[in-house]
Amino acid sequence: MKKIEQISNIQYTLANEFNIKKLIGKNVISQSGELVGKVKNIYIKDYRIIGILVKKFMNFEIFIQNEFFDSFTPEAIILKIDPVTELIGLKVFDKNGKKLGKITRILREGIKNTLIAIFVKKGIFRSEIKISLNDIQTISEFVILKKEFEDLDL
Amino acid sequence: MMNEEKKDDILKDERYILSTDNILGKDVIDKSGQSIGVVNQVHIDKLDKNIIGISIDSGFMKPLVFVGIDLIVNFGVDSVYIQQTPRSRYIDMIVFDNIGVIVGKVKNVYFKDESFEISHIKIKVSMLKSLLLDVKYVKRIGRNIFLNISKRNVKILLRKQN
């Protein structure tokens, strides 16, 4: 083991301290236990961690602010949210089990994790429909609406 | 008499009549919006001539799950809604400890008598070892399971159990 000289006013046992370098590449897990991605970068401002960059696919990365961390350990970061960006691609069914299509994009409050509406499309040639959060019953692996498709205010 | 007439009207109305084609292969969704699988079979009582339930295919190498007609909320156009989350939904969920370290996978879940409330979960910790864990150690169940104890404590409980 390498000898480390310390220049500090406090004596630290560095082996026991949290080395953020080890966090790179570790899993980021959402509140519901879904793997969001892997830590690509950690952002620091005024000597404090302000957030992390999560790598999902080749060209898709999400920045998640530290406010949304439930636990932050060298093993993984658990979020206290399910990122709304994860909703894209989910199937949407109405109250009666009729499939309306898949979520193509979402509308949220600025850059917050607060969902306002989802946009659903069934097939390439159909037009997109906007469904507001008030009409949504459940969001999980599927999105289930409170109303029948015919009763939606489109 | 009035009721009989109403029933006849309903039977004439095609919206209320389903064929197995309308049910088989459809997504089965529980009340929390989680996917349970697709309808594989429809079971009919030979004597009563009534549907008694459906079998759900939850995926490759997983056994079929029977759901009784009482637990089916709605036969929709494109999906079937069921009231409760069957045991099979929890099997193979990843179990994380309180800091996000993987502890193992769910091998089985046990419900409290005559309810769908979980009392214990059996976690496959390694190839040969499984731990039966009280639900009080479970912090959250979503797509996977979070415990409120560390992996180290899980190992201690495992040692005690053996």
Closest C-alpha to A136, from A126, A128, A125, A144 = A144
Kindly report, residue by residue over B29-45, the tens digit of the pLDDT.
988 888 889 999 999 99
Which pLDDT belongs to residue B12?
61
Mean pLDDT over B61-73 rounds to 88
The pLDDT assigned to A73 comes to 81
- Residue B95 in contact with partner chain A when CB distance is under 8 A: no
Residues A119, A122, A125, A130: what is their CA dihedral angle, to the nearest 10 degrees? -20
Whether pLDDT at B99 is above 90: no
pLDDT band per the 50, 70, 90 thresholds, residue B127: confident
Yes or no, beta carbons of B35 and A142 under 8 Å apart: yes
Residues of A in contact with B96 (CB under 8 A): 29, 33, 76, 78
A107–chain B nearest CA distance, Å? 21
Whole-model pTM: value is 0.78
Helices (DSSP H) in chain B: which residue ranges?
A: 2-12, 20-23, 151-161
Query: pLDDT category, A21, cuts 50, 70, 90?
Result: confident
**A96 closest CB neighbour out of B27, B76, B142:** B76
β-partners of residue B130 are B124
Q: What is the mean pLDDT of residues B16-24?
A: 84
What residues of B are in contact with residue A120 (Cβ under 8 Å)? none
Taking the CA of residue B99 and the nearest CA in chain A, the distance in Å comes to 6
Is the pLDDT at A26 greater than 80? The verdict is yes
Q: How many angstroms away from the CA of A149 is the closest CA of chain B?
A: 12
Spatial distance between the Cα atoms of B89 and B35, rounded to a whole number of angstroms: 8
